[in-house]
Amino acid sequence: MENPDRRPTDRTLALSTVSRPGVLRNRAVIIPALIVLLIAGASLLGPAFLPFTYWETHLELGASPPSLTNGHYLGTDLLGRDLLARMLYGGRISLLVGFLSTAVSLLIGVPYGAIAGYLGGRIDEIMMRIVDVLYSLPYMFIVILLVALFAQPGTVDALVDVFDLAPHNPIVSWLRGPGLRLVFLFMALGAVSWLTLARIVRGQVLVLKNAGFIDAARALGQTPARIIVRHVIPNTLGVIIVYTTLTIPSVILQEAFLSFLGLGIRPPQASWGTLVSEGMQALAVAPWLLIFPGGMLVLTLLSLNFLGDGLRDALDVRI
Amino acid sequence: MVRYVISRTFSSVPLLFVVITVSFFLVRLAPGSPLARERAMPPEIRARLERHYGLDRPWSTQYWNYLRGLLRFDLGPSYKQKEASVNALIARAWPVSATLGALAFALALLAGVMLGCLAAVRRATLIDRSLMFLALMGVSLPNFVLGPILILVVSLNLLWLPPAGWGGTRHIVLPVLTLAAPYVAYIARLTRAGMLEALQEGYILTARAKGMRERRVLIGHALRAGILPVVSFSGPAVAFLVTGTVVVEKIFAIPGLGNLFVQAAFNRDYTLILGIVLVVSTALFLFNLLVDIIMAILDPRIRYGKS
């Protein structure tokens, strides 16, 4: 998105704020970053300090409301599982999917955009045409299709056959458990979110390509690959950082979306999406099951979006 | 312009063809069968069913027959819902989704553009800051969280509107609000950014210097350029809306295309899956084409650059 608050005349002034201490002193960056770190830290370490696990059921405590006396501070779900434990565990999954899928999209999108932009001409045209085509597909339908059709035991059986794996190989048993769904989520979400990144990086590279220092590198006889890796990509880092920060919440949102439809993580495992979905089903009897996980999801997305906006202003990046 | 539209239309036919071909073989590659039932089926009945639907033929023959059907706009029979053709199922479901989507899109455009303009005109005031905070909130509020909360408050506590179903006007309000909310927020942000950019252009100064009334400067000149990012976003926006309807239809138990698709994917109802993918892809393509044409009309630079 454009950043209208920075006019070209502000640019010289903004240069001083590009330095790192400047960014770290910026409240619009620090506060959301701290909230994200807090949520991530709690999800990572919190379960170890809780007296309950995310899967332990206590039917006699089913759907008990939040209470300070029985230790279930956020209440329990219909099966009597501690909601706080499930939210923190769900946070691990949601954040893991968010970060890893974003990493996948970085790995595809950055080189793709940089190569297209740097080489230019016919190659650029073809590469960007492919991106346009992929853009115009109803990709969420395709993701739904892929996950619904392939994320099931039959696929693992086929893999075992094709690669001749031992049936009790730890990887195979992990795939039979939560693994296959997770792998599909990473791939599907990563594979669809690189498109915008590729476009943005390409746009930046087109501007950079004619810069003096790139000419100089070329005149010194450096290879295109080296120029892209050493000179082009480092100079697009600001844009990449900002856009990555904005991609993470959108991936987390999409994972939650799929889990909400029953296509993501399977019980007893949880992600924020499955928790919201369980909460919706118990809306009339146990509204806290919707409000707390939904609130945590919204807080995370809001912080990441604020962080992206703050970084964009602080680094003076235009997307 | 006419040539551009014609060439875009023709270049999209191969794309739809590829989408259909890939989906066709993808559904058949996946483990499981549309004929699988809860209980095991006697082999002779299964064989008869397979013969009835042509599923015993080689894939190439099935593919060929399917394409021949498509030429007659025949999407085939549903494998799961007996006595129903895919055409009939889609014909029943799409008006529901289209109504939902069109209303949500109209609301998002109207409210988003108005709020964005307000924020841009009152730039850096309290109104602007609170609107933009709300907008960021809206962008971060997924519709599968907003929808249930609306049901909880409006339907279950205040008893104002029905919590689910599809019928009268009363059923439409909550789903449309749920679907539109994130796009109102996003479009407001885009409009504000576009307007602020446009307001710095020289021609705005010229218009003001000529003594034009502020309202005309804003609506006739600034908005015309400032709205471009919104128009170019509306292509992807409709794609996202289509995705959004899947969730909203599930939340409010609405018998639309999204619900039908998720069911079909779980049931491995090959023809229904393919039919919906084809219809949605075609609709998205047509809409993107429309957006490009509107862009060209609004922005003379695009129009003249192309010809």
Contacts of A291 in chain B (CB under 8 A): 149
Interacting residues of A157 by C-beta distance below 8 A, sequence separation 6+: B31
> Is B33 contained in some domain?
no
Task: Using the Cα atoms of residue B259, residue B260, residue B261 and residue B266 in order, give the sign of their dihedral.
Answer: positive
- C-alpha A45/C-alpha A41 separation (Å) is 6
> Is B208 contained in some domain?
yes
Which structure tokens are listed for A285? Answer: 């009897």
With a cut of 60, say whether residue B161 has pLDDT above it. yes
Of B30, B196, B250, the CB nearest to A149: B30
- Looking at chain B, which residue has its C-alpha nearest residue A309? B136
Task: Using the Cα atoms of residue A112, residue A116, residue A119 and residue A125 in order, give the sign of their dihedral.
Answer: positive
CATH classification at residue B156 = 1.10.3720.10
> Is B53 contained in some domain?
no
A303: confidence class by pLDDT, cuts 50, 70, 90: very high
Q: Return the top range by mean pLDDT from A30-39, B59-68, B167-176.
A: A30-39
Check residues A231 and B30 and name the one with the higher pLDDT.
A231
With a cut of 50, say whether residue A3 has pLDDT above it. no
Domain count for chain B, please give it.
1
SS3 at position B167: coil
Of B193, B243, B281, the CB nearest to A1: B193
Q: Do B145 and A140 touch (CB under 8 A)?
A: no
> Is B86 contained in some domain?
no
pLDDT for A169: 77
Report the b/e string of A95-131 with b at 16+ CB within 10 A: bbbbbbbbebbbebbbbbbbbbbbeeeeebeebbeeb
Instruction: Give the CATH fold of the A4-60+74-314 domain.
Output: MetI-like fold (1.10.3720)
Contacts of A153 in chain B (CB under 8 A): 31
With a cut of 60, say whether residue A7 has pLDDT above it. no
Q: Give me the percent of chain A exceeding a pLDDT of 70.
A: 91
Q: Is the peptide bond before A268 cis (omega within 30 degrees of 0)?
A: yes
ipTM (interface pTM): 0.78
Which structure tokens are listed for A103? Answer: 């990493």
Q: Identify the domain containing residue B288 by its residue range.
A: 91-298
> Is B179 contained in some domain?
yes
Check residues A27 and B249 and name the one with the higher pLDDT.
B249
Write down the mean pLDDT value for chain A. 80
pLDDT for B106: 92
Domain boundaries, chain A: 4-60+74-314
DSSP-assigned letter for residue A59 = G
A14: confidence class by pLDDT, cuts 50, 70, 90: very low
- C-alpha B279/C-alpha B277 separation (Å) is 6
- Residue A90: which of A245, A224, A317, A279 has the closest Cα? A279
At residue A249's C-alpha, the angle toward residues A244 and A251, to 5°, is 85
Task: Give A273-287 pLDDT, tens digit per residue.
Answer: 888 888 888 887 888
Task: Give A122-142 pLDDT, tens digit per residue.
Answer: 999 889 888 877 777 777 777
Is B30's Cβ below 8 Å from some Cβ in A?
A: yes
pLDDT for B211: 83
Task: Give B266-305 pLDDT, tens digit per residue.
Answer: 888 888 888 888 888 888 888 888 887 887 777 766 666 5
Q: Do B194 and A140 touch (CB under 8 A)?
A: no
Mean pLDDT of A71-91: 81
Q: Do A152 and B136 touch (CB under 8 A)?
A: no
- Looking at chain B, which residue has its C-alpha nearest residue A154? B31
- C-alpha B54/C-alpha A46 separation (Å) is 56
Q: Give me the percent of chain A exceeding a pLDDT of 90.
A: 8
> Is B229 contained in some domain?
yes
Interacting residues of B68 by C-beta distance below 8 A, sequence separation 6+: none
> Is B47 contained in some domain?
no
> Is B163 contained in some domain?
yes
Task: Give B20-56 pLDDT, tens digit per residue.
Answer: 888 888 888 877 777 776 667 788 888 888 887 877 7
Of A153, A261, A297, the CB nearest to B145: A297
Contacts of B19 in chain A (CB under 8 A): 137
Check residues A42 and A151 and name the one with the higher pLDDT.
A42
pLDDT for A8: 40
B107: confidence class by pLDDT, cuts 50, 70, 90: very high
Model's pTM, two decimal places? 0.81
B200: confidence class by pLDDT, cuts 50, 70, 90: confident
Q: Return the top range by mean pLDDT from A78-92, A295-309, B54-68, B208-222.
A: A295-309
- Looking at chain B, which residue has its C-alpha nearest residue A6? B197
Alpha-carbon distance values, A241 to A5, A28, A247, B53 (Å): 19, 16, 10, 53
- C-alpha A77/C-alpha A308 separation (Å) is 34
Write down the mean pLDDT value for chain B. 82
DSSP-assigned letter for residue A76 = B
